[in-house]
Amino acid sequence: MSEQRFPYQGDPLRPLVKLTFADANGVNHTLSLIADTGCPFEVILSEGWFDQLVHTRTDEIESNFGFMSTGWIQLYMPEMGLVELINGCGSKEVGEIVSDDHQAFAGLVGLPILRLGEFGGNATEFWFRYPGT
C-alpha cells in the first residue's frame, strides 16, 4: 500500500492531496488539491488546469457554482497503482476560491476519488492511501 501524508496548508488550513495527471501529450502534471469529502464530484480543477489536462469533453454538470465544464482526464500515478480515466470538472470560480486559500491549490478532489483508497487526518496532517484494505 502506498501512502501520501501532508500537513494541512492554507488559510484557513485545508487537507491536501497531490494527484498526478497525464495530459493529452503524455506529459505528467502533479497538482495540489484540497481533499473535500463533501464534494460529490471526482475532481474540480481551475479553468486553466482543466483546459490543459482534458482529453475530451463530456456533457456539463450543474452545481451551486453554476454549470461546470467536464471532460475525461487521465489520473496517472503508476507508482501508487492508481491509473484511472476519470471525469473531471473545470470551474473558474472554484479555482479562484481554492487559490485564495493557498496559491498552490489547483482545485478539489472529491469523495469518488478519495474512497478509491483510504483517507484520514489528525491534528496536523491528512493522509491518503491506495489501495484501500
Partner 1 sequence: MWTREEQTENESAYHKLREDLKQQYPHMHFVAFGHGLVIANSADFKDLLEKIREYGRDPRDVMVIRVGDTRLKKGYIFARIRGIKR
Residue whose entry in the numeric block shows the C-alpha cell 460529490: 40
Residue whose entry in the numeric block shows the C-alpha cell 478539489: 108
Establish if 111 lies at the interface with partner 1 (CB under 8 A).
no
- If we measure between CA atoms, which residue out of 25, 4, 10 comes closest to residue 126? 4
x-or-dash pattern for partner 1, window 59-78, by CB under 8 A?
xxxxxxx-----xx------
78-97 residues in contact with partner 1 (CB under 8 A) are 85, 87, 93-94, 97
* Cβ–Cβ under 8 Å, residues 16 and 4: no
x-or-dash pattern for partner 1, window 22-61, by CB under 8 A?
--x---------x-x-xxxx--x---------xxxxxxxx
Nearer Cβ to partner 1 (20/87): 87
Nearer Cβ to partner 1 (73/80): 73
- If we measure between CA atoms, which residue out of 117, 103, 113 comes closest to residue 44? 113
Nearer Cβ to partner 1 (3/51): 51
Handedness of CA 106, 110, 66, 25 (dihedral sign): positive
Residue whose entry in the numeric block shows the C-alpha cell 453554476: 66
Nearer Cβ to partner 1 (87/129): 87
Q: CA geometry: angle at 59 spanning 57 and 65, to 5°?
A: 100
Which residues of this protein are in contact with partner 1, per CB under 8 A? 11-12, 24, 34, 36, 38-41, 44, 54-65, 71-72, 85, 87, 93-94, 97-98, 100-101, 108
